[in-house]
Amino acid sequence: MTTRCYRSKIGRLPFAVRNELNERIRDGVQGPDILGWLNGLKETRKVLREMGASVSGRAASAAPINAQNLTDWRDTGYKHWLEDQKDADRIRRLAEVSQTLASAAGGNVAGVGCSIATAKIMDALESADDDKIADLSTALVKLRASENAAQKVALAEEKNAIQKEQLELSRAKFERDTARLFVKWAQNKDAIALATDRRLGSDEKTERLGRLMFGDLWEGAEDGK
């Protein structure tokens, strides 16, 4: 951005008014609406009075801002303003890239170190040409994508580890419960009789012991309910 001096009616308006005018032009507000608004401002009247007085030497006001003045402004001040906006956008984008790089290097985004690193990277980027910055942006996007992929893999591994741990716990619980059951039923005469009955096959023993130990639950399990 450079300092510019405008000598036109619109160019002599305060910075804030010119800025709002530029925003209205950019937003597509129609000329007659802009002129109505602009000529109604006290700042505009003041400029017109000053211009009229300097020309005539009397307290006469210059003519209101007209469509031609606005067209001229579109070709000069507004065009410059648009260029300035592009510069501002470019700086903002560079700041975002710099911050990403600074934090990717392990910096705490909210920390002072990261802000200082961001400034250093900004300095380097601002002196680089657009092609190099575009290459850097592409590389950053790829870096982000690979980081995301690595994060997904890490999450999946973590999930698997949790599931494995849960299975281990279930197995340990099952073993403890089985041992407890054995201790309990090893003292039961009916159970001992069934277990030691040589006339019964293994499946039959299992079936009868199951009924003895679990009652209806055992039947339910057998039915697959």
Binding site for another protein (CB under 8 A): 1-3, 15-16, 19, 84-85, 87-88, 91-92, 94-95, 98-99, 109, 112-116, 118-119, 122-123
Q: Least distance from C-beta 66 to another protein, angstroms? A: 24
Measured CA to CA, the distance from residue 5 to residue 80 in angstroms comes to 11
Cβ distance to another protein smaller for residue 124 or 156? 124
Cβ distance to another protein smaller for residue 76 or 115? 115
Q: Least distance from C-beta 44 to another protein, angstroms? A: 17
Long-range contacts of 25-31 (CB under 8 A, 24+ apart): 25/74, 25/78, 26/78, 26/82, 31/67, 31/70
Q: Residue 28 region, left (φ>0) first, then alpha (ψ -120 to 50), else beta?
A: left
Cβ pair 213, 185 in contact under 8 A: yes
Q: Least distance from C-beta 110 to another protein, angstroms? A: 8
- Extended beta strands in 111-199, E state: none
Q: Least distance from C-beta 49 to another protein, angstroms? A: 24
Measured CA to CA, the distance from residue 23 to residue 37 in angstroms comes to 13
Measured CA to CA, the distance from residue 130 to residue 21 in angstroms comes to 31
Q: Least distance from C-beta 86 to another protein, angstroms? A: 10
Q: Least distance from C-beta 87 to another protein, angstroms? A: 5
Cβ distance to another protein smaller for residue 59 or 112? 112
Cβ distance to another protein smaller for residue 108 or 160? 108
Q: Least distance from C-beta 155 to another protein, angstroms? A: 29
Cβ distance to another protein smaller for residue 123 or 219? 123
Cβ distance to another protein smaller for residue 29 or 145? 29
Cβ distance to another protein smaller for residue 93 or 164? 93
Cβ pair 14, 38 in contact under 8 A: no
Backbone angles phi, psi at 60, to 5 degrees: -110, 140
Residue 84, Cβ density class (10 Å: 0-12 exposed, 13-18 middle, ≥19 buried): middle
Cβ pair 38, 21 in contact under 8 A: yes
Hey, how many other C-beta atoms are within 10 angstroms of the C-beta on 112? 9
